[in-house]
Each structure stands twice: as C-alpha cells, then as structure tokens.
Amino acid sequence: MSGDLSSTERLLKRDRAIVLAGLAALTLLAWGYVLLGAGTGMSLRDMTILSLFPHRVADMPMHGMQMPMPMMPGAWSAGYCIIVLLMWWVMMIAMMTPSAAPMILLYARATRHAQGTGQLPQGLVPTAAFAGGYLAVWLGFSLLAAVSQWALERSGVLSAMTMGSTSAYVSAAILIAAGLYQLSPLKHVCLRRCRAPAEFLSRHWRPGTSGALRMGFLHGAYCVGCCWVLMALLFVGGIMNALWIAALAILVLLEKLAWHGDWLARAAGVLLLVWGAVTLAV
C-alpha cells in the first residue's frame, strides 16, 4: 500500500513539473512574440507611449518610426486580418496563462491522483485539453477584439500607427465603462470562480478528455467574463503599448491570486472612473 502511495506521489510531482514547464514555455514564447512586434513589422518600443492621456499623442509622428504597408489606414488585407487576430490571441495567452496556471495545475493533480488511486482509468492526463478549451475561449474573444479594432480604426477614432484611441470621448467612455464593470456584480461572480480553483473543479468536474475540454471552456468563459473589460483598455493606451500590456497583466494576476484581489478590483474600478472623468476634462 505504501509503495502504491509512493508511486502516486512521484507521478504527481513529475506531472506537476511537466505541466508547469509547459505553461512557463508557452508564456515565454507568447511574450517573446509580442515583444518582437507580434508580426506587425513595427517596433514595440515605438508603439509604447508613456502618458495618462495617450489619445493626445496617438497620431503624433514618432522619430524614426515607419509604418509598414499592411498597417496603412484602410489596408486591411486578408493577411493583415490574420496578423491582427494572432496578435490579440498570443497577447491574451501571454497575459492570462500565469493567472490560469493554478487552476490548470490543480486540475492536472486531481486527475492524476484519481488515476493513481484507481478512481479513473489509467491513460493520458487530459490537461492539454483543459488548457486548450480555456485558450479557445480567448481565441473567440480575440476575434471580437480584432473586429472591434477594424471598426474603430475605420471610424477614425483609433490610430493605425499606435493602435490607440485618438478621441477623448472614446477613451473616457472605455475607462468609465471599465470602472463601472469592475464594480458590477457580474464581474465579481466571475472573479470568485477564478479565485477558487478547488470549488470550480468540485462543482463542474467531468471525467475524460471531452470533460476536460468542456471544463476548460467553462473556466475560460468565467475568465473572459472577469477580464474582458480590462483588455478593452488596450484600445485606450494602445493595443501594442508594452506598458499597458504589462500593467494589465499584473492587475489580472493580482485580482485572481492576491489575498484581497476582489477589493483590488473594486479599487481599480474607482480609479478608472476618476481617470475617465479627468480624461473628459483635460
């Protein structure tokens, strides 16, 4: 009996290391792709604006910056649409994988433990299916974000060069909407699900690969419900603004993992409301 338990413990430790290494590699590759310009052909340094009101400088010419042909206003070819979709999706993978890691690791541990104790048949641990379902939801979000980018750019309120808002009214509307959503009950219902991996697994457990895919999809839906409005803030500061990407990734991580992450979300909501009001006033 002790030998069986020892074997199970060794499997758990090995699988945890493998899953953790895989998540770390995925995150690093995604961040590397984003930092290299995400296929846009533009420098992330040139697209990063340090300003509380980036709409005021969004269309100013930047020294040494040349806009590639695919990014010229109105030049949304089929190839460029794919580039934008991949840009959003890989950016979401880079930003969201760290905060999803505790859930994925706990799922892998629970599945392997059930197999090791005979509660589930032996076989491939479907952790990849769980993660795949989670990331598939963010792919859907990325598609909507790409369409929104096209529509905003076409309407003239989003800079093709910096990918940020050029309108005080649009910037303020997004900031205020984000602030209100941060304080809303729906935000905190979704956030509670994200902050309680064990409770989520106990409530929604489904065995097998198809069950893992379904659970990952559901967890991804809660995660998008929690964080979509924060991702919309990229339209204010610039979709490829490294400072805004990093700040939002850190905020998402703290909301989900910090001891008082729910109160941090509320504090961020109040700050966003004030920021939006000031944006209209300056």
**pLDDT value for 69:** 44
Residue among 110, 102, 281, 122 at smallest CA distance from 193: 102
- Round to whole Å and give the CA distance between 115 and 123: 8
- DSSP-derived secondary structure for 12-39: HHHHHHHHHHHHHHHHHHHHHHHHTTTT
Q: At what angle do helices 127-155 and 2-35 cross, to 10 degrees?
A: 20
Q: How far is the C-alpha of 97 from the C-alpha of 134, rounded, in Å? A: 9
Distance between CA 178 and CA 233 in Å, rounded? 8
Half-sphere exposure of 34 (CA within 13 A, CB side): 24
Q: Is 142 helix (H, G, I), strand (E, B) or coil?
A: helix
CB 27 within 8 A of CB 99: no
The pLDDT assigned to 229 comes to: 94
CA–CA separation, 187 and 189 (whole Å): 6
pLDDT at 10: 58
Q: What is the pTM of this model?
A: 0.86
- Measured distance CA(219)–CA(195) in Å, rounded: 11
Closest to 255 (Cα-Cα) out of 175, 182, 200? 182
- Report domain extents, the chain: 2-59+73-281
Say how many C-beta atoms besides its own lie within 10 A of residue 109's C-beta.
Answer: 19
Quick one: pLDDT at residue 58?
60
147 neighbors 233 (Cβ within 8 angstroms) = no
* pLDDT tens track, the chain, 282 positions: 444 545 555 555 666 778 888 889 999 999 999 988 888 887 777 778 777 888 777 655 554 455 544 445 457 889 999 999 999 999 999 999 999 999 999 998 888 766 655 555 555 567 889 999 999 999 999 999 999 999 999 998 998 888 889 999 999 999 999 999 999 999 999 999 999 999 999 999 888 888 899 999 999 999 999 999 999 999 999 998 999 999 999 999 999 999 899 999 999 999 999 999 999 887
- Return all residues near 174 (Cβ < 8 A) that are at least 6 apart: 165, 232, 233, 235, 236, 276
135, 207 contact by CB (below 8 A): no
State how far the Cα of 203 lies from the Cα of 196, in Å rounded to an integer.
Answer: 11
